[in-house]
Every structure is written in C-alpha cells, then in structure tokens.
Amino acid sequence: MYLSRDLAVDDFVDLVRDFANRFGLNKGGTGEKPNGAFYAQGGCDWISLEPFPVRTRRQLR
C-alpha cells in the first residue's frame, strides 16, 4: 500500500516492465483511466494501480 500515487508509480512501472518481458503487452493495452488508475494488459493477464482512500484508525471510530 502506498499513501499516494506519486509514491507508487515507480514501483508500478517496474512491475509493468517485468510483466511486458514475460507476457508482452497488447496494442493499446496500457494507459490511465479517468479515475487516475494505471493499467497494463498482455494476453489474458493484466495489472493495475487503483486509487483507494486511506483511513486512519481515528477516522474509523
């Protein structure tokens, strides 16, 4: 879990490179969704970086 997209994106790009080396990428199979999520698709496999709100213990009470 990362607290921001900026903190996560470098690790995600590394995973996409590894993913592409193993499976290849579909034409048009990478991009960014309107909600800020990144995705990569190769064959029938895919990975994505989806934004989710982070809650602290105090906010949960």
Please state, as a whole number, how many other Cβ atoms lie within 10 Å of the Cβ of residue 38.
19
In this prediction, what percent of the chain has a pLDDT beyond 90? 7
Is 34 in a helix, a strand, or coil? coil
The pLDDT of residue 60: 65
Q: What is the pLDDT of residues 15-58, one digit of tens each?
A: 889 988 888 888 888 888 898 889 999 888 888 988 888 777 77
The pTM of the full predicted model, rounded to 2 decimals, is: 0.70
